[in-house]
Structure 1
Amino acid sequence: MDDLRASLARPIQLAEQLIKWADEAQACRSECQNLKSRIERVTTLLRQAARAELYERPARRILEDTVRALDKAAALLERCCCGGLLRRVLTIIPAGSFKKAASLLDNSLGDLTWILRVSSYAAADDDGDDQDDEDDHIGLPPIAQNEPILFLIWEQIAVLQYGGLEARADAAASVVSLARDNDRYGKLIIEEDGVPPLLRLIKEGRADAQESAALAIGLLARDPECVDLMILAGVCTSFVKILKEAPMKVQGMVAWAVSELAANHPKCQDAFLQHNVIRLLVSHIAFETVQEHSKYAVASKMSIHSVVMDKKTNDTSSQDPPDATAAKPVVGCSGTAGTSSSSAAAPGPSSARPTSLAGTRVHNASMSAASTRGRESEDPEIKAYLKSHAARALGTLATGNPAICKNITESRALLCFSILLEKATCDVRYNSAMALMEICRVAEQNPELRRSAFKPTSPSARAVVDQLLRVVEKADYDELLVPCITCLGCLSRTFRATETRVIGPLVRLLDEREAEVSLEAAAALTKFASTENYLHVDHCKAIVAHGGAKHLVQHVYFGEQAVQTAALILVCFLAHNVPDSEELVQAEILTVLDWACKQGYMSQDPLIESLLPEAKIRMELYQSRVAKGYY
């Protein structure tokens, strides 16, 4: 702002010089006096601008246009008042030049009037003064005639910067509407410095204004460049403050915004990790889920049942199903980030129903006592809303990031996910499953994380596997089934040979009518049967023993192309690892392999191309030996 005031010195001085030239003009005196009256008004507005607090982004553009208008007028006035008599006589100035200069000055007058009025509008609102009706409609400045939406964005950002709390809340809601309309408007909001006032509103505003500002930030996170600009503007610091202290509904919206930023620009994950956002999100999913500890890690000798929260509820409330008060937050059961307004994402005050909690009161070491006070009596729907978005945010932050996955698994998050996967509402279960899936995918590629987070002796790891198996054994085709199958496949190298309960449910899913489920089950079993798995022979025997061969044959012959490919890859691993299996002979696997060799589209897959010949050779060798009586 100081630079802006300093830059006003030149046009003010230039305008004063032009007024003198207009008085000294010998040629075209009427036209010069006409310009002079306009320049005097421009000078008055420039002096007002030097004393006012202006929205800098449009003010600089308006100032640049004003300087150009003054320079154009200067060129005309100089020719009219400078030089000798002969030059003035011979000077020919087209009449259109004065009209053009006057038009440019009129535009500058309109622009300067607008920037001053929008600032005074915000200041008057801040002081609580009433305004005339005409002040509520400031009008379209000439600078925005070619792009009216830019004017609207400027006006809302100016109110966000200098308005009172009520006006800033309304402006934040308007920014949400603009950001939701299309990507271009969102980029303009960011380019015109709309993010810093939104972040200030997140920290300073009322709950509804905070929620609108957080929703706007999430909607603006459309691409990596936008996210980078918001990270530089300090979005992490603002979000940390909210996740520690704000109302639960606002925290839920901020958690959703975190997930949007991380989903659209994974490189920002580390910034959130450095600001301790991960642990704050874990605290929210742990609230009323497991007992709180001074340390995040769950004690290794503690049983699963001992860490589940003991709630004291009355007989009536204890019979309510978990979904009876389920929230309908921005993230639905399909897991898609909603773009509905925050007011529709959670219930209003009239629907709040306090609940009685039992036993030991829950406290969070990472939150202040003031921030946790009253959380227990919050509406169950809002609690579920926060847990759902916190789980979604943890999932997007964990995607492909071993450091964050390690941070999450060293906390009590795995245990929380296992409990939420069983007892929470639809949205919370789905987002918990998706978060587990992302962690398991990273663990599959990262031996250190796999050994530390999913070792068989870990109570939290056992709890996770138990819940994954519960979903898979239930085999209901819903939003949980596929991510749970994926998790078991990614954890295939953590299971011991004595762990016999995993293969059977996955094999039974090969008989599933839904192609998506069969495809994912085949892909998961392939990870058990792959030669990269140390126990691949044992797992292949288990797959065959549970009747997997006959299901795979059906998929190879009659399945959709993606299912065909996945099933054939698994068949190749079975033939390669256990060619002496009588079940494979009875299922005529060799015939299947011969048929597959003749299908050109199948051999186009690089993995099939490398596996199929060797699998066929092994099966042929075994059957030839059987025919010769070697077996």
Structure 2
Amino acid sequence: MSSEQKKLMKNLLLDMILLGQDVCSAINRSNSFKVKCSELGMRVNRLLLMLRSLPRFLTSAAPFYLLTVNSIVVKLEDNFKVAQRVVHNCKPRRRLCRFFTGHIFLVWSYIATVEMGPSLDGRIEAAHLLASLVQQKDFEYKQLIFEGGLPSLIKLLKENSPVAHIAAANVLCLLANEEEEKSGTIMKELIHTIASRLSRTSSRCGQKQAADLVADIAERFPELKRYHFMREEAVWRLVILLSSQQSSLELKISCSKALWNLAQGSVSICKTLTETKGMRCLAELVAKQHDELRFNCIMIIKEITAIAESDIHFRRSAFTSSSPAAKALICELLRIIKERDDAKLKVPAIKSIGSLARSFSARKGRVIISLLIAQLGNTDQEVAMEAAIALRKFVSTDNYLRSEHSESVVKFDGVQLLMKLASEYTKAQPHVLALICDLAQHDTNSNVLINSGALTALQTTDPEVITEHPELETLVPHAISRLQFNLTEDQLQTDSSTGIKQIITKQGKEVVDTVRRGLKLLSKGDSKTPQMVTRWIKRILGQNLHYVWTA
């Protein structure tokens, strides 16, 4: 070691000794947490004794390894400064200052416990108390940052405990929401700490804990997903772990849940998933995995396709016909719709296909529409309803190929299934009626719709159904007028006769039966009264009522 290096080291040690003495002086002046401050003072004094002995080694002729001493001194300086800051908050305060401090003493107490608490449970409880303080309306959250709470919370975040992770992250996320100036710094520290635990060098347990923490943050603080740190550090690490052959099933489930929560409603994160190998990875997992992991992956796909439905630029870039990843993903969705009996998987798969309705060509659309029409007859009402909703997106006015797709619906006998569903009071009924109205906008479908009884079905729609679904208030009358305009002379005559009969059969019969029962009570054996009323009703409604009255 050169003389210059020895001189620098002596000055550094002297600075450390002076800093340690300042800590001891602050401990002596402390007015609260005396027991804990006393324990801290004993440790600082022990370190000072060791520091004072180091200069003797520097003056000796024996070789001295300087690198180790340098690293120790740097860490020691950081610890002395933290101790000095914490102990400084425990010294007596002037009376005037106490009137303006508010929660400051609680903040000091909780930060000190988070930093130096003897037990992990106590530190976690202190973090919960800090979170409660931050959520109070009269709390000045800047106090927590100013008093050095961030390093203490980051330290707690690094503990090997999921409960500690959630407690620390909760406070940090609350602060990031409140403190706009510091939110970027807070989120950067938080995400960087979590991302480091998601790296391949971390333990499997640490990776799972970090993935669970990301899922929790994304679920409870969705507004924090806007930070680019989340996309740049967390998302791609989760995708790597999800696609890795070495990752355990439990870890993959945790990663998929985190990505699902992150993808919900976030355009930027969905773009990141499609720009990485996320799409290919999801398609492979849906094909090979089972139960919770497969379900989570399908839900991620559903979130991505929902964003694609509302964002035309994203849809065109991510779901191009030349993209192998997009093709593989769509094939797996169609396979689930066709082969799986599990409604829990079918419903999100159908929703995903519906969201991509504007991405398919007429040729590909025919294949998909045939599968969706088959699902209209599914015994599960949820599946049938989602199939009707998805089909609407193929024939709606904002789909460029709506005319071709509507012809496919008619070609694959979709109208017959729709008429059956329209007559049933199920959750699918309003969506089926809306789909029939959309099909009626194309004159080429009018003949099939009229012959199948669509006009009568729309004319006799329950008013309550229309009231509960305001969209039908416009669609149904417009579709009726469109179908009536396209009636042929034979259909006009048939529809008039059939319409009256059906109205009387389905709605008028109940009224007539009620009148008939009342007349029996009024007549009390008088056979002329029912006959007189029958003649009077016939004059109003015509002879078509006769078969009802005599039924």
Q: Secondary structure at the match of 2:398?
A: coil
What amino acid is the match of 2:473? Answer: E
Do the aligned partners of residues 123 and 535 (structure 1) sit closer, same or farther apart at CA in structure 2, a change above 3 Å counting?
Answer: farther
Matched, 1:284 2:244: no
2:475 aligns with one of 597, 611, 617: 611
Contact 2:350 2:387 in 1 (8 A): yes
Whichever of the two has the greater Rg, that structure is: 2
Contact 1:198 1:217 in 2 (8 A): yes
Give the match for residue 216 of structure 2: 260
Matched, 1:235 2:210: no
- Distance in structure 2 (CA, Å) of the matches to 1:168 and 1:545: 71
Q: Secondary structure at the match of 1:400?
A: coil
Matched, 1:417 2:373: no
1:423 Cα offset (Å)? 1.8
* Per-residue Cα deviation, 1:597-616 (whole angstroms, up to 9, x for no partner): x6154155342223222211
TM-score with structure 1 setting the length: 0.56
1:517 aligns with one of 378, 383, 390: 383
- Distance in structure 2 (CA, Å) of the matches to 1:127 and 1:433: 60
* Per-residue Cα deviation, 1:13-41 (whole angstroms, up to 9, x for no partner): xxxxxxxxxxxxxxxxxxxxxxxxxxxxx
Do the aligned partners of residues 247 and 506 (structure 1) sit closer, same or farther apart at CA in structure 2, a change above 3 Å counting?
Answer: same
Contact 1:243 1:281 in 2 (8 A): yes
What amino acid is the match of 1:213? Answer: A
1:125 Cα offset (Å)? 9.7
2:401 aligns with one of 529, 535, 543: 535
1:215 aligns with one of 166, 169, 173: 166
Contact 2:391 2:435 in 1 (8 A): yes
Higher helix share: 2
* Per-residue Cα deviation, 1:201-221 (whole angstroms, up to 9, x for no partner): 334x4xx33x33323346666
What amino acid is the match of 2:374? Answer: R
1:474 Cα offset (Å)? 2.4
CA RMSD for the aligned pairs? 4.0
What amino acid is the match of 2:116? Answer: Y
Structure 1's unaligned 5+ residue stretches are 1-46, 55-111, 129-149, 289-375
The aligned runs of 1:298-309 (5 Å cut-off) are: none
What amino acid is the match of 2:482? Answer: R
Do the aligned partners of residues 120 and 448 (structure 1) sit closer, same or farther apart at CA in structure 2, a change above 3 Å counting?
Answer: farther
Q: Secondary structure at the match of 2:322?
A: coil
Give the match for residue 198 of structure 1: 153
What amino acid is the match of 1:241? Answer: S
- Distance in structure 2 (CA, Å) of the matches to 1:240 and 1:429: 24
Do the aligned partners of residues 520 and 231 (structure 1) sit closer, same or farther apart at CA in structure 2, a change above 3 Å counting?
Answer: farther
The aligned runs of 1:352-431 (5 Å cut-off) are: 376=246, 383-431=248-296
- Distance in structure 2 (CA, Å) of the matches to 1:232 and 1:190: 18
What amino acid is the match of 2:471? Answer: L
Do the aligned partners of residues 407 and 540 (structure 1) sit closer, same or farther apart at CA in structure 2, a change above 3 Å counting?
Answer: same
Contact 2:369 2:409 in 1 (8 A): yes
* Per-residue Cα deviation, 1:62-99 (whole angstroms, up to 9, x for no partner): xxxxxxxxxxxxxxxxxxxxxxxxxxxxxxxxxxxxxx
1:509 Cα offset (Å)? 2.1
1:532 Cα offset (Å)? 0.8
Contact 1:550 1:587 in 2 (8 A): yes
What amino acid is the match of 1:509? Answer: Q
Do the aligned partners of residues 219 and 421 (structure 1) sit closer, same or farther apart at CA in structure 2, a change above 3 Å counting?
Answer: farther
Contact 1:569 1:608 in 2 (8 A): yes
2:350 aligns with one of 479, 485, 489: 485
Contact 1:227 1:264 in 2 (8 A): no
Q: Secondary structure at the match of 2:367?
A: coil
Identity %: 26
Matched, 1:160 2:107: no
Give the match for residue 105 of structure 1: none
Matched, 1:564 2:429: yes
Do the aligned partners of residues 247 and 549 (structure 1) sit closer, same or farther apart at CA in structure 2, a change above 3 Å counting?
Answer: same
- Distance in structure 2 (CA, Å) of the matches to 1:190 and 1:214: 24
Deviating more after overlay: 451-460 vs 184-193: 184-193
Q: Secondary structure at the match of 2:330?
A: helix
* Per-residue Cα deviation, 1:86-136 (whole angstroms, up to 9, x for no partner): xxxxxxxxxxxxxxxxxxxxxxxxxx76523345567889999xxxxxxxx
Structure 2's unaligned 5+ residue stretches are 1-21, 47-103, 494-551
Matched, 1:502 2:371: no
The aligned runs of 1:56-455 (5 Å cut-off) are: 115-120=33-38, 157-163=111-117, 167=118, 169-171=120-122, 174=125, 184=132, 187=135, 196-203=151-158, 205=159, 208-209=160-161, 211-217=162-168, 225=177, 232-233=185-186, 234-244=189-199, 245-271=201-227, 272-273=229-230, 275-288=232-245, 376=246, 383-455=248-320
Contact 1:240 1:275 in 2 (8 A): no
1:568 Cα offset (Å)? 1.4
Q: Secondary structure at the match of 1:480?
A: helix
- Distance in structure 2 (CA, Å) of the matches to 1:118 and 1:554: 77
Do the aligned partners of residues 478 and 556 (structure 1) sit closer, same or farther apart at CA in structure 2, a change above 3 Å counting?
Answer: closer
Contact 2:381 2:428 in 1 (8 A): yes
TM-score with structure 2 setting the length: 0.63
- Equivalent pairs counted in the alignment come to 404
1:222 Cα offset (Å)? 7.8
Matched, 1:602 2:520: no
Q: Secondary structure at the match of 2:379?
A: coil
Do the aligned partners of residues 153 and 413 (structure 1) sit closer, same or farther apart at CA in structure 2, a change above 3 Å counting?
Answer: same
Deviating more after overlay: 115-124 vs 569-578: 115-124
Do the aligned partners of residues 515 and 226 (structure 1) sit closer, same or farther apart at CA in structure 2, a change above 3 Å counting?
Answer: farther
What amino acid is the match of 1:277? Answer: A
2:416 aligns with one of 528, 533, 550: 550
- Distance in structure 2 (CA, Å) of the matches to 1:223 and 1:121: 31
What amino acid is the match of 1:247? Answer: S
* Per-residue Cα deviation, 1:381-400 (whole angstroms, up to 9, x for no partner): xx223222322332333333
* Per-residue Cα deviation, 1:233-261 (whole angstroms, up to 9, x for no partner): 33122222222243233222322322333
What amino acid is the match of 1:612? Answer: V
* Per-residue Cα deviation, 1:336-377 (whole angstroms, up to 9, x for no partner): xxxxxxxxxxxxxxxxxxxxxxxxxxxxxxxxxxxxxxxx3x
1:270 Cα offset (Å)? 2.5
Give the match for residue 332 of structure 1: none
Contact 1:522 1:570 in 2 (8 A): yes
* Per-residue Cα deviation, 1:440-466 (whole angstroms, up to 9, x for no partner): 111111111111111122110111011
